[in-house]
Amino acid sequence: MKGTRFRPLSLETPKPLFPVAGFPIIHHHIEAAAKVEGCCKGGGLLPKFGGRFVRLRALYHIQAAAKVGFPIIHRRIEVLQKKGKFPIIHHHIKDAAKDAAKDAAKDAAKDAAKDAAKDAAKDAAKDAAKRHIEAAAKDAAKDAAKAAAKDAAKDAAKAAAKAAAKAAAKPAAKTAAKRLLQRTAAAKAAAKAAAKDAAKRLLQRYIYLSVPAVQYTALGTAGGIYHFRDQILAGKPDYFFVMNADVCGDFPLQEMLDFHRSKPSGTFCTILGTEATRQQSLTYGCIVENKATHEIMHYVEKPETFISTTINCGIYLCSPAIFSPLEIEFKKNLEQNYNYDYTTAPAKEVIRMEQDIFVPLASSGKLYVYQTERFWSQIKSAGAAIYANRHYLKLYRKTHPERLAKNGAGKPQIIGDVFIHPSAQVNETAVLGPNVTIGKNCMLGDGVRVRDSVVLDGAVLQDHCCILDSIIGWNSTIGDWTRIEGTPNDPNPNKPFAKMEAISTFTFDGKLNPSITVIGSDVQVPSEVIILNSIVLPNKELSGCYKNQIIL
């Protein structure tokens, strides 16, 4: 998943980290998983990641996952790609170590200086000296902590010691100062050790996260799971979830777990399924089930003719027993690689979950489908992000009502579901909603109107401008009375179970298909113009109106 259909937004951020309803797409997966009972013990999280996961920004979801207690494993990070002299992984490790050292040094220096000062002060004979030392030590600790945060532990501790020694240079405090000096030296050593240790720990964690990802090619969903089998099975989980990052929905994970548990032991996998229209089912994995037991009788990925309206949602709950068919498949692949030449066969470890595992396992009594009628959609295009935004905001009514903006005196008028980041400044004459997300540090002027749109961090919407069915990129500026308008590609409301159409960018005769208007990051749109059904790439300074165009 490289997110090419998500450009130009994925030029700035890997698609899974694109914010929908105020949080990265993948954050919603993590939140859903965290709610499952016993998830940390029994489950794991395997985000399907690819392509451009090379930025420090990605540290975000490491933190997010750590918060809810998940080990997160990335697959196919192009870590061997070089950036400057070293491979990218080197930079990651370096940065991580630096951060760790910083933190550790800060803590260590602070503690050491504090302790030393305390002891020294206690030992000091005279009250005056005591007071003086205490003050000095406090300062020293402060300075040390500050300095340490900036540099490494070494410098920090030295500075602390120096400051303390200098302040304590009065004869009355001489002995105390000496001791302090000694203590600080000890602190210095301790800080150094602590920093080293912390860096090592983080390095280990990072390597654990990254090293298995040193791959030359994509592995396929199942190949990835097999590759990470040791990490997944660490701690002997009873089950684990596999979730594709490019879907959104109100995932019934707990219900899936309960359903899975009710099936005979030895069941490999429960697939989350949903209903689609006959026509649209052809673009998904189609499942034929035994209506009574929900066992999967037949599975076809993207069939040419109609098979079933039950489709695969890309959310799986697996028992560790799934590794046995994976292993068989893996070995079969290896064998084939011996016998055939590489050019025709897929790469060594590629095992596709759907075609290679589900298809042969259908009718074996090992695969089940759990059908949901809750909201679910793929997130392929930018238009889907607006659709996902609407549904995640709606979901907040149930899960996080505090995240939704409310009407009130001195506040902008809110219609329907709206998320406004607390740091955003929105004029009280603005009207927002329904289905609007306003990012961090955004500024919305007098009489601004936003509907069915996502405004990303740092964007500035000047007075009286009107934003409809659009995404406004990071740090872009929209002028006075300007109108930014797109065309939604929402599912056909007249058909039950209709999904979003994956429309192509251009029509047969080469015209741009009307879609959501996307303004890339750092784009300047002047006053009083209209940008209609267009895609503007980053860092452009527009000078007039644009309709149905891609602006390079």
Partner 1 sequence: MKALILVGGYGTRLRPLTLSCPKPLVEFCNKPMLLHQLEALVEAGVKHIILAVSYRADQMEQELKSVEEKLGITITISLESEPLGTAGPLALAREHLTNDNDPFFVLNSDIICDFPFKDMIKFHKHHGKQGTIMVTKVDEPSKYGVVVYDAECGRINQFVEKPQEYVSNKINAGMYMFSPAMLNRIELRPTSIEKETFPGMATDGELYCMELQGFWMDVGQPKDYLTGMCMYLTSLKKKNSSLLYHGEGVNGTALVDPSAKIGKNCRIGPNVTIGPNVVIEDGVCIKRCTVLNGAHIKSHSWLDSCIIGWKCVVGRWVRMENVSVLGEDVTVNDELYVNGGRILPHKSIAESVKEPQIIM
Please give the residue ranges that form the binding site for partner 1 (CB under 8 A).
429, 446-447, 449, 451, 463-464, 466, 468, 480-481, 483, 485, 528, 530, 532, 547
Q: Where are the beta strands (DSSP E) in 290-372?
A: 296-301, 310-318, 367-372
- Report the nearest approach of partner 1 to the CB of residue 530 (Å): 6
d(CA 310, CA 367): 14
- Report the nearest approach of partner 1 to the CB of residue 49 (Å): 39
Among residues 417 and 485, whose Cβ is nearest to partner 1? 485
DSSP-based three-state secondary structure for 390: helix
Among residues 102 and 483, whose Cβ is nearest to partner 1? 483
Among residues 112 and 438, whose Cβ is nearest to partner 1? 438
Among residues 56 and 415, whose Cβ is nearest to partner 1? 415
d(CA 537, CA 552): 5
Among residues 95 and 528, whose Cβ is nearest to partner 1? 528
**What is the Cα 330 distance to its own chain's centre?**
30
- Report the nearest approach of partner 1 to the CB of residue 541 (Å): 21
Q: Do residues 133 and 173 touch, judged by C-beta distance below 8 A?
A: yes
- Fill in the amino acid letter for 377: S
- Report the nearest approach of partner 1 to the CB of residue 466 (Å): 4
Among residues 143 and 452, whose Cβ is nearest to partner 1? 452
Residue closest to 72 by CA, chosen among 25, 112, 26, 117: 26
Among residues 62 and 545, whose Cβ is nearest to partner 1? 545
- Report the nearest approach of partner 1 to the CB of residue 464 (Å): 4
- Report the nearest approach of partner 1 to the CB of residue 463 (Å): 7
Among residues 276 and 531, whose Cβ is nearest to partner 1? 531
Q: Do residues 124 and 167 touch, judged by C-beta distance below 8 A?
A: no
Q: Do residues 188 and 153 touch, judged by C-beta distance below 8 A?
A: yes
Please report the DSSP string for 100-157 in residue order: HHHHHHHHHHHHHHHHHHHHHHHH-SSHHHHHHHHHHHHHHHHHHHHHHHHS-HHHHH
Residue closest to 103 by CA, chosen among 6, 175, 195, 202: 195
d(CA 367, CA 354): 12
Among residues 285 and 383, whose Cβ is nearest to partner 1? 383
Residue closest to 47 by CA, chosen among 244, 191, 295, 287: 244
Residue closest to 349 by CA, chosen among 229, 245, 466: 229
d(CA 491, CA 125): 81
d(CA 246, CA 380): 7
- Report the nearest approach of partner 1 to the CB of residue 506 (Å): 19
Among residues 329 and 485, whose Cβ is nearest to partner 1? 485
Among residues 335 and 446, whose Cβ is nearest to partner 1? 446
- Report the nearest approach of partner 1 to the CB of residue 318 (Å): 48
d(CA 328, CA 267): 17
Among residues 174 and 547, whose Cβ is nearest to partner 1? 547
- Report the nearest approach of partner 1 to the CB of residue 481 (Å): 4
Q: Do residues 485 and 533 touch, judged by C-beta distance below 8 A?
A: yes
- Report the nearest approach of partner 1 to the CB of residue 486 (Å): 12
Q: Assign 3-class secondary structure to 268-298.
A: CEEEEEEECCCCHHHHCEEEEECCCCCEEEE
Among residues 262 and 543, whose Cβ is nearest to partner 1? 543
- Fill in the amino acid letter for 72: I
- Report the nearest approach of partner 1 to the CB of residue 386 (Å): 16
Please report the DSSP string for 17-76 in residue order: GSEETTEEHHHHHHHHHHTSTTHHHH--B-----TT--SGGGHHHHHHHHHTT--B----
Q: Do residues 435 and 420 touch, judged by C-beta distance below 8 A?
A: no
Residues linked to residue 426 through DSSP beta bridges, in sequence order: 444
- Report the nearest approach of partner 1 to the CB of residue 484 (Å): 11
- Report the nearest approach of partner 1 to the CB of residue 262 (Å): 50
Q: Which residues contact 206 (CB under 8 A, 6 or more apart)?
A: 92, 93, 96
